[in-house]
Amino acid sequence: GNGAHVPVLIIGTGYGGSVAALRLAQAGVDVHMVEMGKSWDTPGSDGKIFANTTSPDERSFWLRTRTKQPLSNFLGFPIDKDVPRHTGILDAEEFAGITVYQGRGVGGGSLVNGGMAVTPLRSRFSGVLPSVNADEMYDIYYPRANSGLGVMEVDRAWFDTTDCYQYARVGRKHAQRSGFEFVYVPNVYDFNYMKQEAANAVPRSALAGEILYGNNYGKKSLQKTYLAQAKATGRVSISPLHRVTSVTPASTGGYTVSIEQLDTTGAVTGTKTVTADRVFFAAGSVGTSKLLVKLRATGALPNLNSEIGKGWGDNGNVMCGRANHLWDPTGSLQSAIPTGGIDNWDAGGAFAEVAPLPTGIETFASFYLSITNTPHRAEFSWNAGAGRVDLNWQTAWKQTSIDMAKTIFDKINRKEGTIYRTDLFGTYKIWGDHLTYHPLGGAVLNKATDNYGRLRGYSGLYAIDGSLIPGNTSVNPFVTITALAERNIEKIIATDL
Protein backbone atom coordinates (compact mmCIF):
# COMPACT_ATOMS: atom_id res chain seq x y z
CA GLY A 1 0.00 0.00 0.00
CA ASN A 2 0.87 3.70 -0.18
CA GLY A 3 3.66 4.74 2.18
CA ALA A 4 4.77 1.16 2.84
CA HIS A 5 8.37 0.17 3.46
CA VAL A 6 9.82 -3.02 1.93
CA PRO A 7 13.32 -4.51 2.22
CA VAL A 8 13.48 -5.30 -1.52
CA LEU A 9 11.40 -4.00 -4.41
CA ILE A 10 11.75 -5.63 -7.83
CA ILE A 11 10.55 -3.77 -10.93
CA GLY A 12 9.24 -6.35 -13.42
CA THR A 13 8.39 -10.06 -13.28
CA GLY A 14 10.30 -11.50 -16.26
CA TYR A 15 13.32 -13.81 -16.06
CA GLY A 16 15.70 -11.55 -14.14
CA GLY A 17 13.06 -10.40 -11.67
CA SER A 18 11.74 -13.92 -11.02
CA VAL A 19 15.20 -15.35 -10.31
CA ALA A 20 15.98 -12.48 -7.94
CA ALA A 21 12.64 -12.88 -6.13
CA LEU A 22 13.04 -16.62 -5.59
CA ARG A 23 16.63 -16.55 -4.38
CA LEU A 24 16.12 -13.53 -2.10
CA ALA A 25 13.01 -15.11 -0.59
CA GLN A 26 14.85 -18.39 -0.03
CA ALA A 27 17.52 -16.35 1.77
CA GLY A 28 14.81 -15.06 4.13
CA VAL A 29 14.23 -11.64 2.57
CA ASP A 30 10.72 -10.25 2.01
CA VAL A 31 10.30 -9.16 -1.60
CA HIS A 32 7.72 -7.02 -3.34
CA MET A 33 7.42 -7.23 -7.13
CA VAL A 34 5.80 -4.49 -9.22
CA GLU A 35 4.50 -5.46 -12.69
CA MET A 36 2.80 -3.09 -15.12
CA GLY A 37 0.97 -5.86 -16.98
CA LYS A 38 -1.92 -8.06 -15.88
CA SER A 39 -1.68 -11.14 -13.69
CA TRP A 40 -3.02 -13.47 -16.44
CA ASP A 41 -4.74 -15.88 -14.10
CA THR A 42 -8.41 -15.32 -14.99
CA PRO A 43 -10.22 -16.79 -18.03
CA GLY A 44 -11.93 -14.51 -20.54
CA SER A 45 -15.45 -14.95 -21.89
CA ASP A 46 -14.27 -17.88 -24.06
CA GLY A 47 -13.11 -19.74 -20.96
CA LYS A 48 -9.44 -19.34 -21.82
CA ILE A 49 -6.88 -17.07 -20.23
CA PHE A 50 -5.02 -16.35 -23.47
CA ALA A 51 -6.19 -15.51 -27.00
CA ASN A 52 -5.30 -17.64 -30.01
CA THR A 53 -2.78 -16.44 -32.57
CA THR A 54 -5.22 -16.78 -35.43
CA SER A 55 -7.90 -14.63 -33.77
CA PRO A 56 -6.32 -11.76 -31.82
CA ASP A 57 -8.62 -9.81 -29.51
CA GLU A 58 -8.29 -7.25 -26.70
CA ARG A 59 -6.06 -9.63 -24.74
CA SER A 60 -3.48 -9.73 -27.51
CA PHE A 61 -1.82 -6.30 -27.56
CA TRP A 62 -0.56 -3.80 -25.03
CA LEU A 63 -2.56 -0.56 -25.35
CA ARG A 64 -3.23 -0.58 -29.09
CA THR A 65 -6.44 -0.07 -31.02
CA ARG A 66 -5.15 -2.10 -33.94
CA THR A 67 -3.04 -5.24 -33.86
CA LYS A 68 0.55 -5.04 -35.09
CA GLN A 69 1.35 -8.62 -35.94
CA PRO A 70 4.99 -9.50 -36.67
CA LEU A 71 3.90 -10.99 -40.01
CA SER A 72 1.75 -8.19 -41.29
CA ASN A 73 0.57 -9.81 -44.54
CA PHE A 74 -0.37 -13.18 -45.91
CA LEU A 75 -0.79 -14.02 -49.59
CA GLY A 76 -0.81 -10.29 -50.27
CA PHE A 77 -3.50 -9.38 -47.76
CA PRO A 78 -2.86 -7.26 -44.66
CA ILE A 79 -3.98 -9.24 -41.61
CA ASP A 80 -4.03 -6.63 -38.84
CA LYS A 81 -7.40 -5.70 -37.36
CA ASP A 82 -8.99 -3.31 -34.87
CA VAL A 83 -9.11 -4.38 -31.22
CA PRO A 84 -10.27 -2.58 -28.05
CA ARG A 85 -7.44 -0.76 -26.26
CA HIS A 86 -6.47 -2.97 -23.34
CA THR A 87 -3.48 -3.91 -21.19
CA GLY A 88 -2.93 -6.94 -23.41
CA ILE A 89 -0.06 -9.36 -23.38
CA LEU A 90 2.20 -8.43 -26.32
CA ASP A 91 3.74 -4.99 -26.61
CA ALA A 92 4.88 -3.93 -30.07
CA GLU A 93 6.85 -0.93 -28.83
CA GLU A 94 7.81 1.42 -31.64
CA PHE A 95 11.03 3.38 -31.76
CA ALA A 96 12.12 5.40 -34.80
CA GLY A 97 14.05 2.56 -36.46
CA ILE A 98 12.66 -0.62 -34.94
CA THR A 99 9.61 -2.24 -33.34
CA VAL A 100 10.54 -4.12 -30.17
CA TYR A 101 8.17 -6.97 -29.20
CA GLN A 102 7.92 -7.70 -25.46
CA GLY A 103 5.68 -9.56 -23.04
CA ARG A 104 3.50 -7.65 -20.57
CA GLY A 105 2.19 -9.27 -17.43
CA VAL A 106 3.27 -11.44 -14.52
CA GLY A 107 5.92 -13.61 -16.18
CA GLY A 108 7.16 -10.97 -18.66
CA GLY A 109 8.47 -12.39 -21.92
CA SER A 110 7.88 -15.97 -20.76
CA LEU A 111 4.18 -15.41 -21.42
CA VAL A 112 4.56 -14.70 -25.13
CA ASN A 113 7.79 -16.32 -26.26
CA GLY A 114 8.48 -19.53 -28.17
CA GLY A 115 10.08 -21.19 -25.17
CA MET A 116 13.30 -21.96 -27.05
CA ALA A 117 15.75 -22.53 -24.23
CA VAL A 118 19.21 -22.39 -25.72
CA THR A 119 22.53 -22.38 -23.91
CA PRO A 120 25.12 -20.76 -26.19
CA LEU A 121 28.06 -22.88 -27.28
CA ARG A 122 30.82 -22.47 -24.74
CA SER A 123 33.27 -21.49 -27.46
CA ARG A 124 31.10 -18.45 -28.20
CA PHE A 125 30.54 -17.34 -24.58
CA SER A 126 33.45 -14.89 -24.37
CA GLY A 127 31.83 -13.02 -27.25
CA VAL A 128 28.57 -12.82 -25.28
CA LEU A 129 29.70 -11.78 -21.77
CA PRO A 130 33.45 -11.10 -21.89
CA SER A 131 33.84 -10.17 -18.20
CA VAL A 132 32.13 -13.29 -16.83
CA ASN A 133 33.98 -16.46 -15.77
CA ALA A 134 32.83 -19.08 -18.29
CA ASP A 135 33.78 -22.05 -16.09
CA GLU A 136 31.39 -20.88 -13.37
CA MET A 137 28.63 -20.25 -15.88
CA TYR A 138 28.86 -23.66 -17.57
CA ASP A 139 29.54 -25.63 -14.38
CA ILE A 140 27.01 -23.96 -12.09
CA TYR A 141 24.70 -21.25 -13.42
CA TYR A 142 23.62 -22.53 -16.83
CA PRO A 143 22.71 -25.93 -15.29
CA ARG A 144 20.88 -24.14 -12.44
CA ALA A 145 18.95 -22.01 -14.93
CA ASN A 146 18.04 -24.99 -17.13
CA SER A 147 16.78 -26.85 -14.11
CA GLY A 148 14.84 -23.89 -12.69
CA LEU A 149 13.20 -23.23 -16.05
CA GLY A 150 12.27 -26.87 -16.60
CA VAL A 151 14.06 -27.16 -19.95
CA MET A 152 13.29 -30.32 -21.97
CA GLU A 153 14.39 -31.90 -25.24
CA VAL A 154 11.99 -33.22 -27.84
CA ASP A 155 11.86 -37.02 -28.24
CA ARG A 156 13.70 -37.48 -31.55
CA ALA A 157 11.77 -40.59 -32.58
CA TRP A 158 8.48 -38.75 -32.09
CA PHE A 159 9.84 -35.65 -33.84
CA ASP A 160 10.69 -37.84 -36.82
CA THR A 161 7.14 -39.09 -37.26
CA THR A 162 4.60 -36.60 -35.88
CA ASP A 163 2.56 -34.52 -38.33
CA CYS A 164 3.06 -31.36 -36.29
CA TYR A 165 6.80 -31.25 -36.94
CA GLN A 166 6.67 -31.89 -40.67
CA TYR A 167 7.61 -28.24 -41.18
CA ALA A 168 10.67 -28.71 -38.99
CA ARG A 169 11.69 -31.89 -40.80
CA VAL A 170 11.45 -30.07 -44.13
CA GLY A 171 13.63 -27.34 -42.58
CA ARG A 172 16.10 -29.99 -41.44
CA LYS A 173 16.20 -31.71 -44.81
CA HIS A 174 16.82 -28.47 -46.69
CA ALA A 175 19.53 -27.40 -44.23
CA GLN A 176 21.35 -30.70 -44.38
CA ARG A 177 21.15 -31.00 -48.18
CA SER A 178 22.94 -27.65 -48.37
CA GLY A 179 25.62 -28.84 -45.96
CA PHE A 180 24.49 -26.88 -42.88
CA GLU A 181 24.39 -28.24 -39.36
CA PHE A 182 20.82 -28.66 -38.05
CA VAL A 183 20.71 -28.48 -34.26
CA TYR A 184 17.86 -29.57 -32.02
CA VAL A 185 16.83 -26.81 -29.69
CA PRO A 186 15.55 -27.52 -26.16
CA ASN A 187 12.35 -25.86 -24.94
CA VAL A 188 10.39 -25.14 -21.77
CA TYR A 189 7.28 -26.60 -23.38
CA ASP A 190 6.17 -29.92 -21.86
CA PHE A 191 6.70 -32.25 -24.82
CA ASN A 192 4.84 -35.04 -23.02
CA TYR A 193 1.80 -32.78 -23.00
CA MET A 194 2.35 -32.04 -26.69
CA LYS A 195 2.33 -35.77 -27.47
CA GLN A 196 -1.05 -36.00 -25.73
CA GLU A 197 -2.24 -33.01 -27.78
CA ALA A 198 -1.25 -34.84 -30.94
CA ALA A 199 -3.23 -37.87 -29.72
CA ASN A 200 -6.25 -35.63 -29.03
CA ALA A 201 -6.20 -36.69 -25.37
CA VAL A 202 -5.96 -33.17 -23.87
CA PRO A 203 -6.93 -29.61 -24.89
CA ARG A 204 -4.59 -28.31 -27.56
CA SER A 205 -2.18 -25.48 -26.99
CA ALA A 206 1.01 -25.69 -29.09
CA LEU A 207 -1.03 -27.67 -31.60
CA ALA A 208 -3.77 -25.04 -31.57
CA GLY A 209 -1.24 -22.48 -32.75
CA GLU A 210 -0.91 -20.73 -29.40
CA ILE A 211 2.13 -18.43 -29.47
CA LEU A 212 2.67 -14.65 -29.19
CA TYR A 213 -0.54 -14.01 -27.19
CA GLY A 214 0.06 -16.57 -24.44
CA ASN A 215 -0.16 -20.31 -24.10
CA ASN A 216 -3.06 -21.90 -22.24
CA TYR A 217 -1.65 -25.34 -21.35
CA GLY A 218 1.72 -26.89 -22.14
CA LYS A 219 4.29 -24.13 -21.85
CA LYS A 220 6.12 -23.74 -18.56
CA SER A 221 6.12 -19.98 -18.35
CA LEU A 222 7.68 -18.35 -15.28
CA GLN A 223 4.25 -18.44 -13.61
CA LYS A 224 4.68 -22.23 -13.42
CA THR A 225 8.38 -22.34 -12.49
CA TYR A 226 10.38 -19.60 -10.73
CA LEU A 227 7.38 -17.48 -9.77
CA ALA A 228 5.39 -20.44 -8.43
CA GLN A 229 8.35 -21.42 -6.27
CA ALA A 230 8.89 -17.83 -5.18
CA LYS A 231 5.26 -17.41 -4.11
CA ALA A 232 5.40 -20.73 -2.23
CA THR A 233 8.03 -19.27 0.11
CA GLY A 234 5.36 -16.91 1.46
CA ARG A 235 7.82 -14.04 1.24
CA VAL A 236 7.01 -12.72 -2.24
CA SER A 237 4.06 -10.47 -3.12
CA ILE A 238 3.26 -9.16 -6.60
CA SER A 239 1.32 -6.04 -7.64
CA PRO A 240 0.11 -6.39 -11.26
CA LEU A 241 -1.14 -3.35 -13.19
CA HIS A 242 1.34 -1.19 -11.29
CA ARG A 243 4.00 0.76 -13.18
CA VAL A 244 7.13 2.20 -11.61
CA THR A 245 7.81 5.77 -12.75
CA SER A 246 10.60 6.91 -10.45
CA VAL A 247 13.28 5.72 -8.04
CA THR A 248 15.23 8.30 -6.02
CA PRO A 249 17.27 8.25 -2.80
CA ALA A 250 15.07 8.67 0.30
CA SER A 251 16.10 11.14 3.00
CA THR A 252 15.80 8.35 5.56
CA GLY A 253 18.09 5.98 3.60
CA GLY A 254 17.07 3.52 0.90
CA TYR A 255 14.97 4.64 -2.05
CA THR A 256 11.61 6.23 -2.68
CA VAL A 257 9.78 4.42 -5.48
CA SER A 258 6.87 6.12 -7.28
CA ILE A 259 4.25 3.83 -8.75
CA GLU A 260 1.19 4.38 -10.95
CA GLN A 261 -1.79 2.06 -10.68
CA LEU A 262 -3.41 1.26 -14.04
CA ASP A 263 -6.81 0.01 -15.09
CA THR A 264 -7.15 -2.36 -18.05
CA THR A 265 -7.64 0.51 -20.49
CA GLY A 266 -4.21 1.78 -19.45
CA ALA A 267 -5.62 4.79 -17.57
CA VAL A 268 -3.79 5.81 -14.38
CA THR A 269 -6.23 5.38 -11.50
CA GLY A 270 -3.91 6.27 -8.65
CA THR A 271 -0.33 6.82 -7.55
CA LYS A 272 1.62 5.41 -4.63
CA THR A 273 5.03 5.85 -3.13
CA VAL A 274 6.84 3.18 -1.18
CA THR A 275 10.34 3.08 0.26
CA ALA A 276 12.70 0.18 -0.31
CA ASP A 277 16.15 -0.58 1.10
CA ARG A 278 17.14 -2.10 -2.24
CA VAL A 279 15.65 -1.86 -5.72
CA PHE A 280 16.22 -4.35 -8.54
CA PHE A 281 15.58 -3.09 -12.08
CA ALA A 282 14.17 -6.11 -13.94
CA ALA A 283 11.87 -4.29 -16.37
CA GLY A 284 13.57 -5.89 -19.39
CA SER A 285 16.27 -4.36 -21.58
CA VAL A 286 13.97 -1.62 -22.86
CA GLY A 287 12.04 -1.04 -19.63
CA THR A 288 15.13 -0.84 -17.42
CA SER A 289 17.01 1.32 -19.94
CA LYS A 290 14.09 3.73 -20.30
CA LEU A 291 13.73 4.15 -16.54
CA LEU A 292 17.46 4.60 -15.87
CA VAL A 293 18.02 7.03 -18.77
CA LYS A 294 15.06 9.14 -17.64
CA LEU A 295 16.02 9.07 -13.95
CA ARG A 296 19.61 10.10 -14.68
CA ALA A 297 18.56 12.92 -17.03
CA THR A 298 15.79 14.31 -14.82
CA GLY A 299 17.86 14.39 -11.64
CA ALA A 300 16.27 11.52 -9.70
CA LEU A 301 19.46 9.41 -10.02
CA PRO A 302 22.06 11.88 -11.32
CA ASN A 303 25.08 9.78 -10.29
CA LEU A 304 24.32 6.92 -12.71
CA ASN A 305 27.29 6.76 -15.08
CA SER A 306 27.61 7.61 -18.76
CA GLU A 307 27.24 3.95 -19.82
CA ILE A 308 23.52 3.98 -18.96
CA GLY A 309 21.49 3.59 -22.17
CA LYS A 310 24.40 2.30 -24.24
CA GLY A 311 25.24 -1.04 -25.81
CA TRP A 312 21.72 -1.88 -26.95
CA GLY A 313 21.30 -4.52 -29.65
CA ASP A 314 18.57 -6.51 -31.40
CA ASN A 315 20.34 -9.90 -31.18
CA GLY A 316 20.59 -9.54 -34.95
CA ASN A 317 16.98 -10.66 -35.48
CA VAL A 318 15.71 -10.86 -39.03
CA MET A 319 12.87 -12.98 -40.45
CA CYS A 320 12.19 -14.50 -43.84
CA GLY A 321 10.12 -17.16 -45.55
CA ARG A 322 10.93 -19.52 -48.43
CA ALA A 323 8.43 -20.87 -50.93
CA ASN A 324 8.70 -24.63 -51.25
CA HIS A 325 7.81 -26.83 -54.18
CA LEU A 326 4.41 -28.48 -54.18
CA TRP A 327 6.06 -31.81 -53.40
CA ASP A 328 7.53 -30.35 -50.19
CA PRO A 329 4.48 -29.42 -48.09
CA THR A 330 5.17 -28.15 -44.57
CA GLY A 331 1.87 -29.38 -43.12
CA SER A 332 -1.40 -27.79 -42.10
CA LEU A 333 -0.88 -28.81 -38.46
CA GLN A 334 2.23 -27.05 -37.14
CA SER A 335 3.36 -27.06 -33.53
CA ALA A 336 3.77 -23.44 -32.46
CA ILE A 337 6.83 -24.51 -30.47
CA PRO A 338 10.05 -24.52 -32.53
CA THR A 339 12.54 -27.34 -31.95
CA GLY A 340 15.40 -26.78 -34.34
CA GLY A 341 17.80 -24.36 -35.89
CA ILE A 342 20.43 -24.05 -38.60
CA ASP A 343 23.86 -23.18 -37.26
CA ASN A 344 26.05 -21.18 -39.63
CA TRP A 345 27.34 -18.81 -36.94
CA ASP A 346 31.07 -19.39 -37.31
CA ALA A 347 31.14 -19.30 -41.11
CA GLY A 348 28.35 -16.84 -41.87
CA GLY A 349 27.31 -15.14 -38.61
CA ALA A 350 23.79 -16.59 -38.55
CA PHE A 351 21.80 -19.04 -36.41
CA ALA A 352 18.34 -19.56 -37.91
CA GLU A 353 15.37 -21.03 -36.07
CA VAL A 354 13.09 -23.15 -38.18
CA ALA A 355 9.90 -21.41 -37.10
CA PRO A 356 6.25 -22.43 -37.50
CA LEU A 357 3.62 -20.67 -39.58
CA PRO A 358 0.63 -22.00 -37.67
CA THR A 359 -2.11 -20.80 -40.00
CA GLY A 360 -4.06 -24.06 -39.98
CA ILE A 361 -3.70 -24.46 -43.74
CA GLU A 362 -0.98 -25.80 -46.00
CA THR A 363 1.24 -22.86 -46.95
CA PHE A 364 4.14 -24.60 -48.72
CA ALA A 365 6.27 -22.08 -46.83
CA SER A 366 9.33 -22.49 -44.65
CA PHE A 367 9.65 -19.67 -42.13
CA TYR A 368 12.74 -18.64 -40.20
CA LEU A 369 13.82 -16.26 -37.44
CA SER A 370 17.55 -15.68 -37.75
CA ILE A 371 19.81 -14.50 -34.96
CA THR A 372 22.90 -12.86 -36.45
CA ASN A 373 26.27 -11.59 -35.30
CA THR A 374 25.58 -7.96 -36.16
CA PRO A 375 28.07 -5.40 -34.78
CA HIS A 376 25.53 -2.56 -34.60
CA ARG A 377 24.64 -1.12 -31.18
CA ALA A 378 22.22 1.70 -30.41
CA GLU A 379 21.84 4.10 -27.49
CA PHE A 380 18.81 5.30 -25.54
CA SER A 381 18.63 9.02 -24.77
CA TRP A 382 16.26 11.37 -22.96
CA ASN A 383 14.19 13.56 -25.27
CA ALA A 384 13.33 16.41 -22.89
CA GLY A 385 11.06 18.22 -25.35
CA ALA A 386 8.88 15.18 -25.90
CA GLY A 387 9.26 13.86 -22.35
CA ARG A 388 10.26 10.39 -23.54
CA VAL A 389 13.22 8.13 -24.14
CA ASP A 390 14.36 7.68 -27.75
CA LEU A 391 16.52 4.97 -29.32
CA ASN A 392 18.86 5.77 -32.22
CA TRP A 393 18.60 2.39 -34.00
CA GLN A 394 18.79 2.67 -37.82
CA THR A 395 16.65 0.29 -39.90
CA ALA A 396 19.43 0.25 -42.52
CA TRP A 397 21.69 -1.51 -39.99
CA LYS A 398 19.61 -4.64 -40.54
CA GLN A 399 21.28 -5.07 -43.94
CA THR A 400 24.25 -6.62 -42.12
CA SER A 401 21.90 -9.17 -40.55
CA ILE A 402 20.17 -9.83 -43.86
CA ASP A 403 23.55 -10.48 -45.50
CA MET A 404 24.40 -12.96 -42.73
CA ALA A 405 21.04 -14.74 -42.99
CA LYS A 406 21.50 -14.94 -46.76
CA THR A 407 24.63 -17.06 -46.21
CA ILE A 408 22.11 -19.76 -45.25
CA PHE A 409 19.02 -19.11 -47.36
CA ASP A 410 20.58 -18.07 -50.68
CA LYS A 411 22.47 -21.35 -50.60
CA ILE A 412 19.39 -23.40 -49.71
CA ASN A 413 17.35 -21.67 -52.42
CA ARG A 414 20.04 -22.43 -55.02
CA LYS A 415 20.26 -26.04 -53.95
CA GLU A 416 16.48 -26.58 -53.80
CA GLY A 417 15.61 -24.41 -56.79
CA THR A 418 13.29 -22.33 -54.60
CA ILE A 419 12.69 -18.63 -53.95
CA TYR A 420 11.99 -16.32 -51.02
CA ARG A 421 8.38 -15.55 -50.06
CA THR A 422 7.56 -11.91 -50.79
CA ASP A 423 4.10 -11.76 -49.19
CA LEU A 424 4.72 -12.01 -45.44
CA PHE A 425 5.95 -8.55 -44.45
CA GLY A 426 4.19 -6.36 -47.02
CA THR A 427 3.85 -6.54 -50.76
CA TYR A 428 6.98 -7.81 -52.50
CA LYS A 429 9.03 -7.58 -49.33
CA ILE A 430 11.30 -10.50 -48.47
CA TRP A 431 12.84 -9.54 -45.14
CA GLY A 432 11.20 -8.86 -41.80
CA ASP A 433 13.83 -6.28 -40.89
CA HIS A 434 11.66 -3.88 -38.91
CA LEU A 435 11.55 -5.72 -35.59
CA THR A 436 13.23 -7.61 -32.80
CA TYR A 437 12.00 -10.19 -30.30
CA HIS A 438 15.31 -10.10 -28.42
CA PRO A 439 16.16 -6.65 -27.03
CA LEU A 440 19.42 -6.76 -25.05
CA GLY A 441 21.60 -4.17 -23.33
CA GLY A 442 21.24 -0.60 -22.11
CA ALA A 443 22.77 -1.17 -18.66
CA VAL A 444 25.68 -3.37 -19.69
CA LEU A 445 27.44 -5.57 -17.13
CA ASN A 446 30.82 -4.28 -15.96
CA LYS A 447 30.11 -0.90 -17.61
CA ALA A 448 26.88 0.67 -16.32
CA THR A 449 27.11 -1.77 -13.39
CA ASP A 450 29.92 -3.63 -11.68
CA ASN A 451 30.59 -7.23 -12.72
CA TYR A 452 27.53 -8.42 -10.72
CA GLY A 453 24.88 -5.91 -11.76
CA ARG A 454 25.31 -3.32 -8.99
CA LEU A 455 24.50 0.01 -10.63
CA ARG A 456 27.48 2.31 -10.43
CA GLY A 457 26.85 5.51 -8.50
CA TYR A 458 24.34 4.07 -5.96
CA SER A 459 24.56 1.30 -3.40
CA GLY A 460 21.44 -0.84 -3.16
CA LEU A 461 20.40 -0.40 -6.80
CA TYR A 462 20.81 -3.30 -9.23
CA ALA A 463 20.06 -4.24 -12.83
CA ILE A 464 19.27 -7.96 -13.19
CA ASP A 465 17.66 -8.55 -16.59
CA GLY A 466 18.44 -8.48 -20.31
CA SER A 467 19.72 -4.91 -20.00
CA LEU A 468 23.00 -6.34 -18.66
CA ILE A 469 23.82 -8.25 -21.86
CA PRO A 470 25.63 -6.22 -24.52
CA GLY A 471 23.31 -6.70 -27.47
CA ASN A 472 23.81 -10.31 -28.58
CA THR A 473 23.80 -13.85 -27.18
CA SER A 474 24.41 -15.84 -30.44
CA VAL A 475 21.21 -17.80 -29.70
CA ASN A 476 17.82 -17.06 -28.12
CA PRO A 477 18.49 -15.10 -24.95
CA PHE A 478 16.37 -16.14 -21.98
CA VAL A 479 18.54 -18.99 -20.67
CA THR A 480 21.52 -16.64 -20.60
CA ILE A 481 19.47 -13.90 -18.90
CA THR A 482 18.34 -16.47 -16.29
CA ALA A 483 21.82 -17.93 -15.74
CA LEU A 484 23.42 -14.51 -15.37
CA ALA A 485 20.71 -13.52 -12.88
CA GLU A 486 21.40 -16.73 -10.90
CA ARG A 487 25.12 -15.87 -10.81
CA ASN A 488 24.62 -12.25 -9.82
CA ILE A 489 21.97 -12.77 -7.14
CA GLU A 490 24.10 -15.44 -5.46
CA LYS A 491 26.96 -12.94 -5.13
CA ILE A 492 24.63 -10.12 -4.03
CA ILE A 493 22.99 -12.29 -1.33
CA ALA A 494 26.38 -13.44 -0.06
CA THR A 495 27.98 -10.01 0.15
CA ASP A 496 25.37 -7.22 0.26
CA LEU A 497 22.65 -8.47 2.59
Provide the binding-site residues for ligand FAD, judged by CB under 6 A: 11-16, 34-37, 101-105, 108-109, 112-116, 212, 243-244, 282-285, 287, 291, 437-438, 465-466, 476-478, 481
Residue among 243 and 434 whose Cβ is closer to ligand FAD? 243
In the complex, least distance from residue 37 CB atom to ligand FAD, rounded to whole angstroms: 4
DSSP sequence for 229-282: HHHHTT-EEEETTEEEEEEEE-TTSSEEEEEEEE-TTS-EEEEEEEEEEEEEE-
The β-bridge partners of 116 are: 187
Residue among 418 and 436 whose Cβ is closer to ligand FAD? 436
What is d(CA 104, CA 232) in angstroms, rounded to the nearest whole number? 23
153: three-class secondary structure by DSSP = coil
In the complex, least distance from residue 391 CB atom to ligand FAD, rounded to whole angstroms: 15
User: For 381-388, which contacts have Cβ atoms below 8 Å and span 24 or more sequence positions?
Assistant: 381/293, 381/309, 382/293, 382/294, 382/296, 382/297, 382/298, 384/297
In the complex, least distance from residue 414 CB atom to ligand FAD, rounded to whole angstroms: 29
In the complex, least distance from residue 27 CB atom to ligand FAD, rounded to whole angstroms: 20
* Residue 8, CB-side half-sphere exposure with 13 Å CA sphere: 29
Residue among 103, 81, 80 at smallest CA distance from 92: 103
Helices (H) and strands (E) in the chain, counts: 12, 20
In the complex, least distance from residue 251 CB atom to ligand FAD, rounded to whole angstroms: 23
DSSP sequence for 477-489: SHHHHHHHHHHHH
- Residue from 35, 93, 210, 353 carrying the catalytic annotation: 353
- Residue from 434, 438, 486, 490 carrying the catalytic annotation: 438
Q: Is 376 a catalytic residue?
A: no
Residue among 257 and 324 whose Cβ is closer to ligand FAD? 257
The identity of residue 187, as a single letter, is N
Residue among 365 and 481 whose Cβ is closer to ligand FAD? 481
Residue among 104 and 447 whose Cβ is closer to ligand FAD? 104
Q: Is 353 a catalytic residue?
A: yes
Q: Residue length, the chain?
A: 497
Catalytic residue ranges: 353, 438
